[in-house]
A and B are shown apart, each in its own frame.
Chain A
Amino acid sequence: MNFYSDNEALAFHLHHPGMKKCVDMKERGYAEKDQYDYAPRDFEDAMDNYDKVMEIIGDISANVLAANAEEVDHQGPSVENYRVRYADGTRMNHEKLTQAGVYGIALPRTYGGLNFSMVPYVMAAEIVSRADAGFANIWGLQDCAETIYEFASEEIKREFLPRIHQGATCSMDLTEPDAGSDLQAVQLKATYDEKRQLWMLNGVKRFITNGDAEIKLVLARSEEGTRDGRGLSYFVHDKAWGGVKVRRIENKMGIKGSPTCELVFENAPAKLIGDRKMGLIKYVMTLMNGARLGVGAQSVGLSEAAYREALKYAGEREQFGQAIIKFPAVYEMLAMMRAKTDATRTLLYETSRQVDVSKSYAVLVNEGEKLTPEQRADMKLAQRNADMLTPILKMFSSEYANQNAYDAIQVHGGTGFMKDFPVERLYRDARILTIYEGTSQLQVVAAIRHILNGNLGKYIEELAAHPVKADFAHLTTQLKAMTETLAAAIEQVKGMGSDELIDFHARRLVEIGGHIVMGYLLVQDADRCDCFRKSAEVFIQFSRCEVEKHAAYIRTFVPENIDLYK
């Protein structure tokens, strides 16, 4: 079994035409081939590397992670002497992936990484999540390395980054009992110790995923007397320095293998990342976007797992003298699961490419390279698209993962409610996806301004301009009509004249926009491979009705009636 090679959609997205630009930018003239014996010689060589490393991850995911998932879910982690003890399977998973040398996948080679583009990095997260969405957090927190790489001093980079490839685990310590969605309220205190030339952290963090990690990024209040986000800085703490205790771990509904910790910091030494006061407003916001992309990957991986379980069962289970997959009520559910999975996956990799290009430009700028006006414009566009698509992806993929897990149980009937089949675990694991790293409601907040200011409209225009074969004309015609509906709905909402009404309808607008984007991306996929034709047709059929529903709600809404909802 191999979770990469058994899923043709993955190689399809990995080999998207847009990859040439991503990889060329990441490898910068393929100059490192003379310095590192594992650096690629050219684009084809790099793509071949990606394929081969995805195969390694697909192998370990299918044969180790997936095989351990049930046991990890039952055993879970525990706390002994203020330290987390992972479930046995979790330890084995981490050990195998470390042995395979796949941690630090996106980091530059000079820090022990593989220097891969974001696309295979995100794909690895999807593959791991299909096997065990809970373990995907421990895997995915290597994202912290990205933050260190982008913002920390060279000295801190040299100290911490090479350890990622060796298997050092990470955590990002943001939330506190009174600071969840509202991180401006963070109170954990950072004071500078002149004698030790280190910052000292004191306070409590709560709901910290993988909180006993070796490398911790901690958001703390460095400016005494401040009360908002501008008084917060970002720090790195090494577990070996001591000072952090795990007081307890949460007993959760799902992703049980991933320890969620309450931490007590008592004079825990730390080093400042980047500049003071920029912790929340710059670094955490960047980290958060990466984490949201990670949840997108986790959601798509879980959707894939749910779809496959449901498909298998529906083909095997017989009722009324035939396999239940023969009944319209069942095959419709399966077709929708497949379409939602394909739709969010194509959005996942489109977003990844935009993030990738934008990050590659950021590296050039950081290194003081002068960009041409065309490059500058291209960088801005990629950044804007990345910022816009990330919350749309996070919202849709996590909501669909929940719907798919729900339907996977429904297909199983009473059997699915039992612990004997993996779908009940998928259902529990899925539930957090619409909540952490920003709830769906907060994704709407992040996405809506791009819809109101016309950014999304411009992006949709670009998608519409992409030529496809004539036999997809009936789909693009429908998408054009939906785009007009969106424009009208935006005007109606703006015309209602209050910010509160805009907030009230924001989700409806974001959903309409998301449907159009995923619809166009699916048509492009179907144009490249017939294997996506069905999903494109099924999804756009569904989208038409969803868009119409939301538009009708807005059209018929009487603004004064908002009071009825209070």
Chain B
Amino acid sequence: MSFRIVVLAKQVPDTRNVGKDAMKADGTINRAALPAIFNPEDLNALEMAIQMKEKIKDAEVVVLTMGPSRASEIIREAMYRGADGGYLVSDMKFAGADTLATSYTLSMALKKLQPFQVLISGRQAIDGDTAQVGPQTAEKLNMPQITYAEELVDITEKDVTVKRRLERGVETVKSPLPCLVTVHGSAQECRPRHAVRVMKYKYAATPSEAQQRGSDYTEWFSQHPYLQIGEWTAADLDAEPERLGLSGSPTKVKKVDNVVLAHKEASVMPATDEAIDTLIQELMATHVIG
């Protein structure tokens, strides 16, 4: 494969369906109470990556994720929808990483995947909402970046053209490759799992998962290279230990407050033309409209 597209993806707690057990008493997320899902905007990114692959001859889509061992679930999920393979970066030494340490770890893993032409990810993950990991990773790899991508306009072996969703409109930009693209949630929804791909890839596993499944499986696994999900630890990445995990993370959460959103004062106005005029003028004065 001469043209490689790497999707950065993350397994996140499903914060969209938050119940009362979502937070622990100490203010951290209670991951056990929330199902782990494919970060939604990373799915948009995966869709765009697959669209890129469809336009370039001999392209491949590879997913890279950092997380605990069960994060291999999202690599399989991506394979069911169109990715060709993936790598899980997993080590206790990565625990507690903020965006700086995460982007450092990912950049070291990406060096092992070079040469790649496109690095693509969701704009942000729903658990942290920082939107920093993609851009920080690109900076470390010295790559141009296109953020807030909404639509793939064109891709060739040399450059990519993308529409960006901005606050007040749409901007079309072109960048040479390699380049980072971060994808906005308004981009096309990811295609569903493909039946044939599910049947083909359902036994895909990391080497540690394969070992746990017993000897009958190990043979099958070794005979079918497409089932092998890459697995890297800190030692595989050639990384500086102090830049990983908690020690590589300057961000410290000092305190988490529980905020109860309360009603602000409401005003009631009569349904008359004068009252509506007054309201409109008020809204224009505060720049809500106009």
Is B198 in contact with A99, judged by CB distance below 8 angstroms?
no
Is A38 in contact with B199, judged by CB distance below 8 angstroms?
yes
Is B193 in contact with A100, judged by CB distance below 8 angstroms?
yes
**Most B CB atoms within 10 A — which of A38, A53, A56?**
A38
Q: Within 8 Å of chain B (Cβ to Cβ): is A60?
A: yes
In the bound assembly, the distance between CA atoms of A187 and B196 in angstroms comes to 42
Is A114 in contact with B191, judged by CB distance below 8 angstroms?
no
Is A99 in contact with B194, judged by CB distance below 8 angstroms?
yes
Is B226 in contact with A56, judged by CB distance below 8 angstroms?
no
Is A52 in contact with B192, judged by CB distance below 8 angstroms?
no
In the bound assembly, the distance between CA atoms of A105 and B199 in angstroms comes to 13
In the bound assembly, the distance between CA atoms of A101 and B200 in angstroms comes to 13
**B197, closest chain A residue (CB):** A101
Indicate whether A100 sits within 8 Å of B195 (C-beta atoms), given known contacts A37-B224, A37-B226.
Answer: yes
Min CB gap B213→A, angstroms: 13
Q: Within 8 Å of chain B (Cβ to Cβ): is A102?
A: yes
Q: Within 8 Å of chain A (Cβ to Cβ): is B202?
A: yes
Is B200 in contact with A38, judged by CB distance below 8 angstroms?
yes
Is B194 in contact with A49, judged by CB distance below 8 angstroms?
no
Q: What's the tally of chain B residues with a CB closer than 8 Å to chain A?
A: 14
In the bound assembly, the distance between CA atoms of A150 and B200 in angstroms comes to 27
Which residues from B are CB-within-8-Å of A40? 199
Indicate whether A101 sits within 8 Å of B195 (C-beta atoms), given known contacts A37-B200, A48-B202, A52-B202.
Answer: yes
Min CB gap A3→B, angstroms: 14
Min CB gap A66→B, angstroms: 15
In the bound assembly, the distance between CA atoms of A60 and B189 in angstroms comes to 13
In the bound assembly, the distance between CA atoms of A100 and B197 in angstroms comes to 9
Is B200 in contact with A102, judged by CB distance below 8 angstroms?
no
Which residues from B are CB-within-8-Å of A114? 195-196, 199
In the bound assembly, the distance between CA atoms of A102 and B193 in angstroms comes to 10
In the bound assembly, the distance between CA atoms of A39 and B196 in angstroms comes to 9
Min CB gap B233→A, angstroms: 29
Is A56 in contact with B198, judged by CB distance below 8 angstroms?
yes
**A56, closest chain B residue (CB):** B193
Which residues from A are CB-within-8-Å of B226? 37
Min CB gap A169→B, angstroms: 18
0/1 string, A438-449, CB within 8 A of B gives 1: 000000000000
Min CB gap B182→A, angstroms: 24
Is B194 in contact with A101, judged by CB distance below 8 angstroms?
yes
Q: Within 8 Å of chain B (Cβ to Cβ): is A527?
A: no
Which residues from B are CB-within-8-Å of A41? 220
**B227, closest chain A residue (CB):** A37
**B82, closest chain A residue (CB):** A99
**A37, closest chain B residue (CB):** B200
**A50, closest chain B residue (CB):** B199
In the bound assembly, the distance between CA atoms of A38 and B198 in angstroms comes to 8
Is A49 in contact with B199, judged by CB distance below 8 angstroms?
yes
A87-124 contacts to B (CB < 8 Å): 96, 99-102, 105, 114
Which residues from A are CB-within-8-Å of B191? 99-100
Indicate whether A100 sits within 8 Å of B192 (C-beta atoms), given known contacts A38-B199, A48-B202.
Answer: yes
0/1 string, B150-194, CB within 8 A of A gives 1: 000000000000000000000000000000000000000001111
0/1 string, A37-67, CB within 8 A of B gives 1: 1111100000011001100100110000000
Min CB gap B21→A, angstroms: 22
Is B193 in contact with A38, judged by CB distance below 8 angstroms?
no
Min CB gap A113→B, angstroms: 10
Is A99 in contact with B192, judged by CB distance below 8 angstroms?
yes
A216-242 contacts to B (CB < 8 Å): none
In the bound assembly, the distance between CA atoms of A48 and B201 in angstroms comes to 13
In the bound assembly, the distance between CA atoms of A59 and B194 in angstroms comes to 12
In the bound assembly, the distance between CA atoms of A114 and B196 in angstroms comes to 7
B53-76 contacts to A (CB < 8 Å): none
Which residues from B are CB-within-8-Å of A53? 195, 198-199
Which residues from A are CB-within-8-Å of B194? 99-101
Is B224 in contact with A56, judged by CB distance below 8 angstroms?
no
Min CB gap A289→B, angstroms: 26
Which residues from B are CB-within-8-Å of A39? 199
**A96, closest chain B residue (CB):** B192
In the bound assembly, the distance between CA atoms of A49 and B193 in angstroms comes to 13
Min CB gap A440→B, angstroms: 35
In the bound assembly, the distance between CA atoms of A96 and B220 in angstroms comes to 32
Is A101 in contact with B202, judged by CB distance below 8 angstroms?
no
A405-426 contacts to B (CB < 8 Å): none
Which residues from A are CB-within-8-Å of B199? 38-40, 49, 52-53, 114
In the bound assembly, the distance between CA atoms of A491 and B226 in angstroms comes to 66
**A52, closest chain B residue (CB):** B198
Min CB gap A526→B, angstroms: 33
**A57, closest chain B residue (CB):** B195
Min CB gap B142→A, angstroms: 37
Which residues from B are CB-within-8-Å of A96? 192
Which residues from B are CB-within-8-Å of A101? 194-197
Indicate whether A38 sits within 8 Å of B196 (C-beta atoms), given known contacts A48-B202, A52-B202.
Answer: yes
In the bound assembly, the distance between CA atoms of A77 and B276 in angstroms comes to 42
In the bound assembly, the distance between CA atoms of A218 and B200 in angstroms comes to 37
In the bound assembly, the distance between CA atoms of A37 and B194 in angstroms comes to 14
In the bound assembly, the distance between CA atoms of A459 and B224 in angstroms comes to 47
Is B195 in contact with A102, judged by CB distance below 8 angstroms?
yes
**A46, closest chain B residue (CB):** B199
In the bound assembly, the distance between CA atoms of A47 and B103 in angstroms comes to 42
In the bound assembly, the distance between CA atoms of A100 and B195 in angstroms comes to 6
0/1 string, B191-231, CB within 8 A of A gives 1: 11111111110100000000000000000100010100000
Which residues from B are CB-within-8-Å of A37? 200, 224, 226
Min CB gap A57→B, angstroms: 9
Indicate whether A56 sits within 8 Å of B192 (C-beta atoms), given known contacts A37-B224, A48-B202.
Answer: yes
Known pairs A37-B200, A53-B198, A53-B199; list 17 more (Cβ under 8 Å): A37-B226, A39-B199, A40-B199, A48-B202, A52-B199, A56-B195, A56-B198, A59-B193, A99-B191, A99-B192, A100-B191, A100-B193, A100-B194, A101-B196, A101-B197, A114-B196, A114-B199
Task: Enumerate chain A interface residues (CB-CB to B < 8 A).
Answer: 37-41, 48-49, 52-53, 56, 59-60, 96, 99-102, 105, 114
A-B contacts, 14 of them at CB < 8 A, read A48-B202, A49-B198, A52-B195, A52-B199, A56-B192, A56-B193, A56-B195, A56-B198, A99-B192, A99-B194, A100-B192, A101-B195, A101-B196, A114-B195
Minimum-distance CB pairs A-B, first 5: A38-B199, A101-B194, A101-B195, A38-B200, A100-B192
